[in-house]
Structure 1
Amino acid sequence: MSNTTIKVSNRRKLSNKTSFRQTVRNSLTMAHRGLLKVKRTPEQLFDVTLQPIIFTLMFTYIFGGAISGNVHSYLPVIIPGILVQTVITTSVVTGVQLREDMDKGVFDRFKSLPIARIAPLAGALLADTIRYTIATTMTFTMGYIMGYRPEGGLAFVFLAALLVIICSWAISWIFAFLGVISRTASSVQGISMIVLFPLTFLSNAFVPADTMPKLIQWFVKFNPISHLVTAVRNLTNSGTIGWDFTISLIGAAVIVAIFAPLTVRAYMKRA
């Protein structure tokens, strides 16, 4: 056995025995690495900066008059819908970038470092919360420029933003799992869009559910995106915490409980 092989083996053993504090520190370092990637290639933020602006303008002026009579009256309906749709869609990037890093051999190089094996995965998931925060801020800012004034107050707007970020982070575990088990980044992107498009557009994010056919109304009623959108509307527009808020948090917890172990187990087999 060569000296290089022995060194790599020893480093792997060391990385398996890292303490919780060391694991957290390594994960934060990897999260910082993710932010540095964005700094070097800022075009990676186009989806969380331009998309909220384009979608808000497009959907507001297309549907505003038809659904609410005028644009201003439609803003309390569409801004929470755009917020959820944009941030949830952004969570796909976690799985895509994870798959790209694995294809490029980046994670193979991490194997030789004396760090916690879970740190690259945890760091990637942590760094993407910054993307969710940017998308959330841009959506509310665009809504404010267009005349949206949440009656719930700033505290409930902050709580709504936190709820969306938490739920998006939970959903990112699903796409992280796809990123680990899929063969290519494009397949992760394709599968994710096939799942997300029906969930986001067959919801109450853009139009009231009672205007839809009965069969679609049934789907919209049980659609988790609809519950999240309703929770955000209740928080921002009336400052109330209803059952939809609870359902959204429970759903996020269930997703993490199921997909976090699956993702970690699949990742550990390849790390």
Structure 2
Amino acid sequence: MGFPAVVRKDFRDSVRSFWLQFTTAIFVVFAVGLASIQWIPVMYQSSPVETSTLALLNSMRQPTVFMVPLISLIVAYDTVVGERESGSLRLLLGLPNSRAAVVFGKFVGRTGVITVSILVGYACAALIAFATYESFDAGIFVRYTLLTVFYGTVYVALATGFSAGMQSRQRAFVGAGGLYALVILLWDVLLFVLQMVIYGQEIPENGLPDWFKFIGMLNPSTAFMHAARAVIPEYREITFYPEGTAFYLDDWVGFAILFCWGAIPLVLGYLWFERTDLQ
């Protein structure tokens, strides 16, 4: 059977279970809604809503940061452990398939689900913007779309790592949910607490040191925005971060941080799965 067959099987299973259709519908509604926001009546000001590529990216910025990780984690958290609980994993490994083929094949299969969903949803948004906006730069939007796919892939890798390393769906779900809460909801709170512990209420005269700014950048959502600034210079107009002189605060470092967030849990999950007695 091998790696390609595992990828095909996992993708087909996602289609049969309506995961692909469900996630695609969510991204279509999400992207089309934000692209169409120009028609929402302005209740408190007389100026029209700006219609440009950058305005669309600004509308999509925070929803993307919150929604893409959530959907990716939900899609992939039980991809390995689900088959383990149902007993079908033994059959899958007996065809024969290596454990590496199972883990990485399922990662690629679920990545395919997220990729198709994002591409379809964002393509619908691009059509609306192209047809109705005052200005629309397809090159910028394509780069942002591909970066969003990469961002979703990171969280699929995280969830697949949890799924491979856990012994039950419940544990994998709690692990993925706890991670989401940490990076999306609690990171800034913990960073503020750390700042208060070290510096109190008075920020140093020269500002926070570069190493402290780097801790904030280690958040994958922040790293995503830095990566966007690296490939879309115009993105700097809608994102503002403390400047620093250290090389590790360069926007391109965001790609390295995202890669580590995806690769390390996936590899660790595989290594744990490789040593696990499935009996």
TM-score (norm 2): 0.65
The equivalent residue for 1:48 is: 23
Range moving further from structure 2, 224-233 or 122-131:
224-233
Q: Say whether the 8 Å CA contact 2:161–2:267 is kept in structure 1.
A: no
Evaluate the alpha carbon distance shift between residue 178 and residue 151 of structure 1 in structure 2; reply closer, same or farther with a 3 A threshold. Answer: farther
The equivalent residue for 1:171 is: 155
The equivalent residue for 1:251 is: 257
The equivalent residue for 1:117 is: 99
How far apart in 2 are the matches of 1:33 and 1:76? 35
**Alpha-carbon displacement from aligned partner over 1:182-225 (angstroms, at most 9, x marks no partner):** 34324433442343256346899xxxxxxxxxx9xx89766330
Stretches of structure 1 that go unaligned for 5 or more consecutive residues are 1-24, 205-214
Local SS of the residue matching 1:96: coil
Local SS of the residue matching 1:91: helix
Task: Name the % identity.
Answer: 13
- How is 1:135-214 mapped onto 2 (pairs within 5 angstroms)? 135-147=117-129, 153-197=137-181, 199-200=183-184
Give the RMSD, CA atoms, in angstroms: 4.1
Q: Per-residue deviation at 1:82? A: 3.5
How far apart in 1 are the matches of 2:264 and 2:223? 20
How far apart in 2 are the matches of 1:163 and 1:180? 26
How far apart in 2 are the matches of 1:190 and 1:261? 20
How far apart in 2 are the matches of 1:106 and 1:248? 38
The equivalent residue for 1:38 is: 14
Evaluate the alpha carbon distance shift between residue 33 and residue 58 of structure 1 in structure 2; reply closer, same or farther with a 3 A threshold. Answer: same
How far apart in 1 are the matches of 2:92 and 2:273? 13
Stretches of structure 2 that go unaligned for 5 or more consecutive residues are 189-202, 204-212, 237-248
TM-score (norm 1): 0.66
Q: Per-residue deviation at 1:120? A: 1.2
Instruction: Work out which of the residue numbers 94, 103, 111 in structure 1 matches 2:85.
Output: 103
Q: Say whether the 8 Å CA contact 1:52–1:139 is kept in structure 2.
A: yes
Q: Say whether the 8 Å CA contact 2:103–2:164 is kept in structure 1.
A: no
**Alpha-carbon displacement from aligned partner over 1:9-43 (angstroms, at most 9, x marks no partner):** xxxxxxxxxxxxxxxx71111000012213323x2
Evaluate the alpha carbon distance shift between residue 225 and residue 75 of structure 1 in structure 2; reply closer, same or farther with a 3 A threshold. Answer: same
How far apart in 2 are the matches of 1:142 and 1:201? 29
The equivalent residue for 2:241 is: none
How far apart in 1 are the matches of 2:92 and 2:179? 31
Local SS of the residue matching 2:108: helix
Q: Say whether the 8 Å CA contact 1:220–1:226 is kept in structure 2.
A: yes
How far apart in 2 are the matches of 1:119 and 1:101? 14
Q: Which has more helix, going by share of residues? A: 1
**Alpha-carbon displacement from aligned partner over 1:67-103 (angstroms, at most 9, x marks no partner):** 9973746423022444454433232122222221111
Evaluate the alpha carbon distance shift between residue 154 and residue 163 of structure 1 in structure 2; reply closer, same or farther with a 3 A threshold. Answer: same
Evaluate the alpha carbon distance shift between residue 198 and residue 269 of structure 1 in structure 2; reply closer, same or farther with a 3 A threshold. Answer: closer
Q: Per-residue deviation at 1:113? A: 2.5
How far apart in 2 are the matches of 1:81 and 1:122? 30
User: Is structure 2 residue 110 aligned with structure 1 residue 128?
Assistant: yes
The equivalent residue for 1:225 is: 221
Instruction: Work out which of the residue numbers 45, 54, 60 in structure 2 matches 1:79.
Output: 60
Q: Say whether the 8 Å CA contact 1:87–1:135 is kept in structure 2.
A: no
How far apart in 1 are the matches of 2:127 and 2:146? 21
> What letter matches 1:134 in structure 2?
V
User: Is structure 2 residue 72 aligned with structure 1 residue 91?
Assistant: yes
Evaluate the alpha carbon distance shift between residue 258 and residue 151 of structure 1 in structure 2; reply closer, same or farther with a 3 A threshold. Answer: farther
Q: Per-residue deviation at 1:58? A: 7.3
How far apart in 2 are the matches of 1:154 and 1:52? 19
